[in-house]
Amino acid sequence: MKKKLIAGNWKMNGSLAANASLLQSVLDGSAGMTCQAGVCVPAAYLAQAQALLHGQSLIALGAQDISSHEAGAYTGEISASMLQDFAVRYVIVGHSERRQFHAESDSLVAHKAQRALSAGITPIVCVGESLAEREAGQTEAVVKRQLAAVIHTNGHCISEIVLAYEPVWAIGTGRTATPEQAQAVHAVLRAQLNAATAHAARISILYGGSMNAGNAAQLLAQPDIDGGLIGGAALKAADFLAIMAAGSNAV
């Protein structure tokens, strides 16, 4: 049985003062937790977060994006080797906010995952359908297409990714997928991974989209939900700790 992975996605939130207080409270409250955990912080705060997380192993450091390019004239981009400089363990790729607001294609997302994997950084690859796609009955087709691009580009390395199912209509809306709705999509993704690699069992599939202290335990009890990618609730120490506790207690 894999340990559940509870990953915070801070998005474009935080300040030096707020980060210090949030991380200190999370660290203080997480003694004895047995889940895996991480925080994906804005790039500007990687150095600060690395320093604050130094000397402990429960909360890993993550980033929110990575360039598909190695180095060079790509203004504003962050390379894999830069993330390596801060000992980053996870990087989110293909978050729906980047697909939507930065026009990231399935192929670009797949190449970002490849860049992370080649640097020894675990990509948290996000897939998920919009409300219109769900209502049109396209959920399965959309998430399978998004995952297929990542499988195609990464071959046998696919077993090293973390996958996150994040229905776009549930992100930041307070409208969570029911445990049954989430489990149904996770099962589809699990089957697709099983068909792609003999080592699919080691891949964690996280659920994301308004996961909070109140609904985490039920979501994490589903057989194919291996953790959570947490946005809003990751910005409040008590809420994030409650989700970590649910992840630690889930079997």
Closer by beta carbon to ligand PGA, 9 or else 67: 9
Cα dihedral across residues 115, 118, 121, 126: positive or negative: positive
Residue 7 has, within 13 A of its CA and on its CB side, a CA count of 33
Q: How far is the CB of 229 from ligand PGA (least distance, A)?
A: 4
8 A C-beta contact, residue 184 and residue 224: no
Contacts to ligand PGA from residues 146-205, by CB under 6 A: 166, 171-172
Compute the least distance from the CB of residue 149 to ligand PGA, in Å. Answer: 20
* DSSP class of 176: P
* Residues with catalytic function: 95, 166
* Contact pattern from residue 194 through residue 233 relative to ligand PGA, giving x for each residue in contact according to CB under 6 A and a dash for the rest: --------------xxxx-----------------xxxxx
Instruction: Tell me which of 4, 5, 9, 248 binds ligand PGA, using CB under 6 A.
Output: 9
Shortest spacing between CB 208 and ligand PGA, in angstroms: 4
Both tokens of 57, joined, read 């192993």
CB of 170 to ligand PGA, least distance (A): 6
CA angle 176, 35, 223 (to 5 degrees): 55
Helix (H, G, I), strand (E, B) or coil at 75: coil
Q: Residues binding ligand PGA: what is the number (CB under 6 A)?
A: 13
Using CB positions, name the residue nearest to ligand PGA.
231
Residue number with CB closer to ligand PGA (171 or 203): 171
b/e sequence 33-54, b meaning 16+ C-beta within 10 Å: bebbbbbbbbbebbebbeebbe
Binding site for ligand PGA (CB under 6 A): 9, 166, 171-172, 208-211, 229-233
